[in-house]
Amino acid sequence: KDEMKPLNIHIVRAIITIESVYAKTIGDEYLYIRVTSFDKKVAEDVTKEINKRKASTKGIILDLRNNPGGLLDQAVDLVDLFVDSGDIVSQKGRTEIDKKTYTASKHKTITKVPMVVLINGGSASASEIVSGALQDHKRGILVGENTFGKGSVQVVLPVTEEEAIKLTIARYYLPSGRTIQAVGVKPDIEVLPGEVKSSANEFSIKEADLKKHLEEELDKIDENNGTAKKDKEDKKDNKDIITPEMLNKDIQLKEALGILKALVIMRG
Query: Which residues belong to the active site?
Result: 125, 136, 150
Asked whether 119 and 148 are in contact (CB, 8 A), the reply is no
Residue 169 and residue 260: Cα distance in Å, rounded?
A: 39
Residue 76: name the closest of 141, 134, 122 by CA: 134
Question: What amino acid occupies position 187?
Answer: P
Asked whether 260 and 61 are in contact (CB, 8 A), the reply is yes
Asked whether 148 and 129 are in contact (CB, 8 A), the reply is no
What's the distance, CA 66 to chain centroid? 7
Q: At 190, is the secondary structure helix, strand, or coil? A: strand
Asked whether 124 and 147 are in contact (CB, 8 A), the reply is yes
Angle at 63 between CA 61 and CA 69, to 5 degrees: 140
CA dihedral of residues 219, 223, 224, 225 (deg, nearest 10): 10
* Residue 4: exposure state from Cβ atoms within 10 A (0-12, 13-18, ≥19): exposed
Sign of CA dihedral 16, 17, 18, 22: negative
